[in-house]
Structure formats: structure tokens, C-alpha cells
Amino acid sequence: MAKSCPECSSPVPVADSVLVSEIVECPDCNCELEVVARDPLMLAVAPEPEEDWGE
């Protein structure tokens, strides 16, 4: 599967096994993207880390 990066419009190859909420990276602009839907595939810029994110 491939979809355009919402930031730079470059094609982002995505594995068929991708999951909703999975984080992928645009190979061109390195923007972190989130899979917001699978069928059809939809990518959005991933949320910025919140203050309480971590281990």
C-alpha cells in the first residue's frame, strides 16, 4: 500500500500488515505519521508527544 505524506506529499510505502494507530515515518521528510484508517488507508501527522508520555 502507498499513500501520500500529508506534510510533503511524497509517497509513503505502508506494509499490508499495518495497524490502525501505528506510527510510520515518511521516507522523504521524516515526519511521523499515524495510520488513522486502513480501508481505505489514511495517514495523518502523528500527535506531538505530550508532557506525560514516556516509559
Pick out residues in 22-41 that bind another protein (CB under 8 A): 22-23, 34
Which three three-digit cell numbers place residue 40? 481505505
Q: What are phi and psi of 15, to 5 degrees?
A: -65, 150
Residue 5 vs 35, nearer CB to another protein: 35
Contacts of 22 (CB under 8 A, 6+ apart): 34, 35
Residue 9 vs 23, nearer CB to another protein: 23
Pick out residues in 4-23 that bind another protein (CB under 8 A): 19-23
* Residue numbers at the binding site for another protein (CB under 8 A): 19-23, 34, 46, 49-55
